[in-house]
Chains A and B, each alone.
Chain A
Amino acid sequence: MRAASTFFYRRPYWYVALLLVPPLLWFGTVYLGSLFALLAQSFYRIDDFTAQIVREPTLDTYRQLVTQPANVDIVLRTVSMAICVTIACAIIALPIAIYMARYASGRMKAFFYVGVMLPMWTSYLVKIYAWRLLLAKEGIIAWCFGKLGLTGLLETLLEAPGIGGPSLSSSYLGMFIVFVYMWLPFMILPMAAALERVPGSLLQASADLGARPSQTFRNVMLPLAVPGIAAGSVFTFSLTMGDYIIPSVVGAPGYFIGMMVYVQQGTAGNIPLAAAFSVVPIVLIFVYLGIARRFGAFDAL
């Protein structure tokens, strides 16, 4: 044993190689192998008459994906939802991140960090279910609006074209709220981490030079928070792009990319189309990563 350990200490490459063999075998076969199978499936097509998968390389499935207006709608709907959710998360997260990173100290800081971590790790499905209760027609939000005498306002909101629906739990507005809720911690934590690293002296210098607090915020704090926002936005964007549980539990009947993948592989049995659809978020996420990188997202992680 001792000889072996000396052998490996003297030869770091051997040591690293030996350690890497099991995880690489697993990730190489199970994960990369699966991704490769997915890519391969997207180049097959389904025979319209026999409903069998034809295993010959073809671009038919992708052609179907980009030429059918319904499919293009799904992609556009998902991307706009992802962008709206990202913006809303950034706005709501900002005061929380600023407070926990710059102002709270000791107990209060710990309280905020735990307060953000706990909901983040609470069961994903249970949180969605909770929102179904909250958004239901006779649920708490409707009850609150009623108590405040604002039922009319809620109804006006739900009659709005595009975002409305018969009740909050079956409208895009409701779905949007749930998405924002679910991914909020993923925005707060990188943002707070980026703000933690802002040297206090910069803020003091800004104040000494005569800036009002709002000016310091706009011209010093906010630009320095950008890498954190970019890092967080990668999560909110990518998580919204890929989710299919939330749109199927809450919201209007329009399909999202994730739901399309799920439905196509399941009841429709069209694995090639499901595979082609799942390539869309991969491509979009890589594009988004490229943009986020320019804003310093990777330095903030």
Chain B
Amino acid sequence: MPFKERYRPNKASWLVRAGAFAGLAFMHIPVFIIILYAFTTDDRTYRFPPPGLTLRWFEVAFGRADIWQSMSLSLLVAACATVIALILGTLAAFALARAKFPAKDSLTVLFVLPIALPGIITGIALLAAMKTLRVDPSVLTIILGHATFCTVIVYNNVIARLRRLPANWVEASMDLGADGLQTFRYVLLPQVATAFLAGGMLAFALSFDEIIVTIFTAGKERTLPIWFFNELFRPRDRPVTNVVAVIVIAVTLIPIVLAYYLTRPDDEHETAR
């Protein structure tokens, strides 16, 4: 057998390597393109390459009242949904992390169902319920929908951390004379705090960007994604749409990156193999 073909555990074949880097590039190019298009001087077509670059569209976009309105509505909804999700998701995670009781498995499924089923199901289900109860769509119904799937995100983050926590820590703390509150304050809380924060940030980003459920529950209210979606079919303000796209990327990515650093596993531990 030729020497070249021997198994080398630390070296990927060129095929795998090329596939991996090409795949990664494929995942990033569209995002860069959007950023580039926010500066194009062309306001009619999607022509590539852009004929020139300008900052003018940012100025135009910041002067638009409708964008500010949609933006503040989206921020309000995301903030409310995140607060509700943090409370409900954390409670559910603490309840289900260790306990053993008959209905536990069905509850675990219930708490991930809003993410496991496609968003359109949640959306149309909420709408069906609103029609049945004759509730009119409003900001409140948007928050109701968002809080539901945001809860799942917080729940997933917190329960993952709780499961990694050795079970006997709590017992050790109690044996050493701490009461329940002290154990929570000094043992559980420091461990769970970052997962809690990360869950909240992911929930916020998810809510800020959500459209699939929102369309069904929003009625006449226009969150930023709904504004953006409508704009896709009325391409009059194409340059402004491009600018809003960049703003949306920034607003969602900041909490995502923070959440990543909060939940990052220890590097040494991960790579030692």
A interface, CB within 8 angstroms of B: 1-2, 4-6, 8-9, 12-13, 15-16, 19-20, 22-24, 26-27, 30-35, 37-38, 40-41, 92-96, 98-100, 102-103, 105-106, 109-110, 112, 114-119, 121-127, 129-134, 136, 138-140, 143, 181, 184-185, 188, 200, 203-204, 206-207, 210-213, 216, 238-239, 241-245, 249, 258, 261-262, 265, 271, 274-275, 278, 281-282, 285
Q: In the complex, A132 Cα to B33 Cα: how many Å?
A: 11
**Of B101, B124, B212, B260, the contact of A117 (CB 8 Å cutoff):** B260
Q: Which residues of the other chain, A, contact B118 by a CB distance below 8 angstroms?
A: 238-239, 241-243, 258, 281, 285
Cα A200 to Cα B272 in complex, Å, equals: 12
Beyond A27-B111, A242-B120, is A122–B252 a contact (Cβ under 8 Å)?
A: yes
Check B189 for interface membership: any CB of A closer than 8 A.
no
Complex Cα spacing A6 to B84, Å: 28
Asked if B186 CB lies within 8 Å of chain A CBs, one says no
Interface positions, chain B 26-44, Cβ under 8 Å from A, are: 26-31, 33-34, 37
A selection of 7 A-B contacts at a CB cut-off of 8 Å is A95-B18, A105-B273, A110-B267, A129-B245, A185-B27, A207-B7, A238-B116
Which A residue sits closest to B12, measured CB to CB?
Answer: A103
Chain B residues within an 8 Å CB radius of A124: 209, 211
Q: In the bound complex, how far is the Cα of B10 from the Cα of A130, in angstroms?
A: 37
Residue of A nearest to B110 (CB): A27
Contact in complex: B34, A130 (CB < 8 Å): yes
Q: In residues 83-118 of chain B, which contact A (Cβ within 8 Å)?
A: 84, 87-89, 91-92, 94-96, 99, 101, 107, 110-111, 113-114, 116-118
Residues of B within 8 A of A125 (CB): 209, 211, 225, 228-229, 232, 248
The 9 closest A-B pairs by CB, nearest first: A242-B118, A5-B180, A95-B19, A207-B7, A99-B20, A130-B30, A19-B95, A34-B125, A37-B129
Contact A19 B124 (CB under 8 A): no
| Any A CB within 8 A of the CB of B215 | yes
B30 touches A134 (CB 8 A): yes
Check: B65 CB closer than 8 A to any chain A CB: no
Q: Of residues 183 to 226 in B, which have CB atoms within 8 Å of A's CB atoms? A: 184, 202, 205, 209, 211-212, 215-216, 225
Give the shortest distance, in Å, between A139 (CB) and chain B (any CB): 5
Q: Produce 1/0 per residue, B139-183, CB < 8 A to A.
A: 000001001100100010000000000000000001000011100
Q: Are A203 and B148 in contact (CB under 8 A)?
A: no
Q: With A and B bound together, what is the CA distance between A281 and B91 in angstroms?
A: 31
Cβ distance B203 to chain A, nearest Cβ, rounded Å: 12
Q: Which of B9, B27, B245 contacts A200 (CB 8 A)?
A: B9
- Residues of B116-144 at the interface with A, using a CB-CB cut-off of 8 Å, are 116-122, 124-129, 131-133, 144
The residues of A that contact B34 with a CB separation of less than 8 Å are 126, 129-130, 133
A123 touches B209 (CB 8 A): yes
> Contact at A118–B101, with CB atoms within 8 Å?
no
Residue of A nearest to B23 (CB): A96
Cα separation A22 to B47 with both chains bound (whole Å): 53
Docked complex Cα distance between A207 and B260 (Å): 37
Residues of B within 8 A of A143 (CB): 48-49
Q: Are A262 and B120 in contact (CB under 8 A)?
A: yes
B11 interface residue (CB < 8 Å to A): yes
Given the interface pairs A22-B88, A121-B256, A275-B128, the reply to whether A5 lies near B209 with Cβ below 8 Å is: no
Give the residues in chain B near A35, CB-CB below 8 Å: 121, 125
Is the beta-carbon distance between A102 and B20 smaller than 8 angstroms?
A: no
Bound-state CA distance A244–B123 (Å) is 12
Alpha-carbon distance A24/B1, docked complex (angstroms)? 63
Q: Are B148 and A6 in contact (CB under 8 A)?
A: no
User: Given A9-B180, A140-B33, are A203 and B9 also a contact pair (CB < 8 Å)?
Assistant: yes
Chain B residues within 8 Å of A126, by CB: 31, 34, 228, 245, 248-249
Contacts of B29 in A (CB 8 A): 134
In the complex the two chains form, is A265's CB within 8 Å of B31's CB?
no
Interface 0/1 of B223-246, CB less than 8 Å to A = 001001100100000000100010
Q: Is there contact, CB below 8 Å, between A37 and B46?
A: no
Chain B residues, CB < 8 A from A134 = 29-30, 33
Docked-complex contact A129 and B228, CB < 8 angstroms = yes
Set B1, B45, B116, B212: member contacting A244, Cβ < 8 A? B212
How many Å from the CB of B151 to the closest CB on chain A? 7
Contacts A22-B91, A93-B23, A103-B16 known; 16 new A-B pairs at CB < 8 A: A12-B99, A15-B99, A23-B151, A26-B148, A26-B151, A102-B12, A105-B273, A118-B257, A123-B225, A130-B33, A138-B48, A213-B13, A238-B118, A243-B120, A245-B212, A245-B229
Identify which of A31, A96, A119, A184 contacts B31 (C-beta below 8 A): A119
- Which among A34, A103, A123 has the greatest number of chain B C-beta atoms within 10 A? A123
Contact B27–A115 (Cβ < 8 Å)? yes
Query: Quick one: given A203-B9, A258-B118, A282-B117, are A40 and B256 in contact (CB under 8 Å)?
Result: no
Q: Is the CB of B48 within 8 A of A6?
A: no
Partner of A121, one of B26, B110, B205: B205
Bound complex: CA A258 to CA B124 (Å)? 10
Residue in A13, A38, A203 whose beta carbon sits within 8 Å of that of B128 in the complex: A38
Q: Please tell me if the beta carbons of B9 and A204 are within 8 angstroms of each other in the complex.
A: yes
Q: Are A117 and B28 in contact (CB under 8 A)?
A: no
